[in-house]
Structure 1
Amino acid sequence: MTTEERKAEDARFRQEYPLFAQYPELIYLDNAATTQKPSCVIQAESAFYEKYNANPFRGVYELAEFATEHYEEARAEVAKLLHANADEIVFTRNASESLNLIAYSLGNLVLRPGDEVLVSIMEHHSNLLVWQQAAKRTGATLRYLDCTQDGKITAEMVEAAITDKTKIFAVTQISNVLGWKNDIKSFAEICHRKGCLIVADGAQSVPHIEVDVKALDVDFLAFSGHKMMGPMGIGALYGKKELLESMPPFLFGGEMIDTVTREGAVYAPVPHKFEAGTVNAAGAVGLMAAIRYLKEIGFDTIERREAELTQYAVKRLLAIPGVHILGSQDPSEHHSIVTFLVDNVHPHDVASILDMDHIAVRAGHHCAQPLLQHLNTSATTRASFAFYNTMEEVDALAESLAQVRRRMGYVD
């Protein structure tokens, strides 16, 4: 692709995002925290309230049926995205709620004293705290699988770590700190051969790469809508149907039952038994619009653009004196995420200086404190990319970073 073609592609994508028109100087590089929303998503969520607003599943009148149809259409769209069946998709608020659901419901079902839960050290707190609590609740033992100092977990490491006591292995598909992509398919094969279930956090993978849960053979996978151009407050959980059917409900209330008596209840079939109360139908419709938008662009285009951006950023940052990238030094091993340290400058100060140049990045522990402790640091700065970012924005990041130490009073 020529420079002119690239710039034309940049312009086509940028014009679809109202926030960039509102803040034309903004360089938004915090996409791992949340992405910006294209007009089609904003309009889809608004249109639900304007045209179809009724409580799904509650009424037999036409408007309620329209609301139900749109909600279930959104579920089918998520299923197609993941190459799953619609009755294997549970709507939640976000990946965190999905992982809480699994850890509580599945944990109570399968974990006993003496059992083990294996969690990779690179997990976001959402896929770590829930297993800490599950282990405390059930008497199981929580074990950690450490990554290498350059931020990798290999199939050989998983093979060695899983024992006959391991019942669940929780692991991210793409690290939100290191950008490392785990070989989930190989991990799943090892787990199932050894009688262990695998729970994958797809929050940083589903927005960026094509994810086929059947080909990966994961037992569960969670993701959030807001990290993939969708609304906040909507997420989804994929689970193999036979496992979802065996699990008790996580929340109780309206619409997750078939019948209720004074003595008990018969629960609705999956996935509805996990969706208590009034659902976020407008959010689901917004997520459906986001998925269709990403599919229209094509994951081949998304992966190409984000790989070019990320690899260019790694190369630019590695050339700056005093800047150190966490994880692999190979640009191809970072997927949309570059996390770094600047000598003698606190990450919060780095982010504040970049903000003066209208560059938005994340500073802190990135909800992954055990990982940073393992890597002998407590906080870092992170730049994370989406396909709507540009090479010129990477250049601006590098140029601003190159001045950080001088602006803090250091002389190289």
Structure 2
Amino acid sequence: MDVPALAWGATVLGIIALLVFDFFFHVRKAHIPTLREAGIWSALYVGIALLFGVGVWFLGGATMGTEYFAGYITEKALSVDNLFVFLIIMGSFSVPRADQQKVLLFGIVFSLIARTAFIFVGAALINSFAWVFYLFGLILLITAGNLLKGENDEEADNFVIRLARRFLRTSEHYDGDKLFTVENGKRVMTPMLLVMVAIGGTDILFALDSIPAIFGLTQNTFVVFTATAFSLLGLRQLYFLIDGLLDRLVYLSYGLAAILAFIGVKLILHALHENNVPFINDGEHVNVVEISTPVSLSVILGVLVITVIASLLSPKGKAVNASATVRRRAKEYLACEDPTEQARLADLLRAEESRLQALPPRARKALKEDEQLVELVNKVRAKAEATGT
């Protein structure tokens, strides 16, 4: 279905308006969102995305509507996985929590720009070369294999961080959320600029996985663009809403691997059906079963539900979540100089210590053998005694 230029224009303007609203009313003034604030705005953005999907369904038909929802859910799941890496990056640079909103919004905008470019390049390639379906399918199968082996985006992000640190010399300390500051009478870059570069670099890497995934569900450029855009909107609020649960989703990578592998197979089957590659069946179409969009949507939803439930009920998930939370809070506490924030973080750490004590003996033993974690906790205790927090 061809989408009128007016619909394209109105949609793009609506997305830009939401981003501008987010900046001026939430991000411009640095603050730490409350759980209530994050919950309300997360629900609002998801509601907008769902209402848009209903509109697509009624105006574009059931097939277009199903493709939108399958694409939106897949991209949303992949974006949650991206949050893990954002968490790692901001933890690596010890970004003050109040300033993390601006970093996240920058990441969302940069990601939207990068993915839009990939979408139109991908659409042009698909329209010109049917063999691109084979390439996209292969990319997804390789990505799924890497997720299963544990070769996730953390390694790539560390590479981007190392490059950023090597080529961009910055000051030792932040100056709010400013990218530049004056130090010893000279204008210098702050670590915030490094964070932005690292986030932007990883966004490009994420696009290489996510765009082939959604093209495996639909080749409608409007659906691909809108499903991708709405999956990114509200990601900032979601970060603060499920911050404490991110580490708990220990099986999410396996679920995503299954989804990407499924879509990869779907793409290759579609490529065989549309085949015009000379060395495959003499350039003739291959009669294979194609997977319908409703089936794809059912598989994606089923895998995600099973993955999330298994993660939340898993004892391993509880242990990983507790240790990761303590590790993150400890780093925040050690980097913090504000007495009020120090006191808040100290209270959170005491609460997390109680959670650690409630873990099974085997999990507690594993945590005690984690030398880095033990060293962090000892540093926190020493600083707490020195500052009286």
Question: What TM-score bracket applies, with the shorter chain setting the length?
Answer: under 0.3
The structure where strand makes up a greater share of residues is 1
TM-score scaled by structure 2? 0.27
The structure where helix makes up a greater share of residues is 2
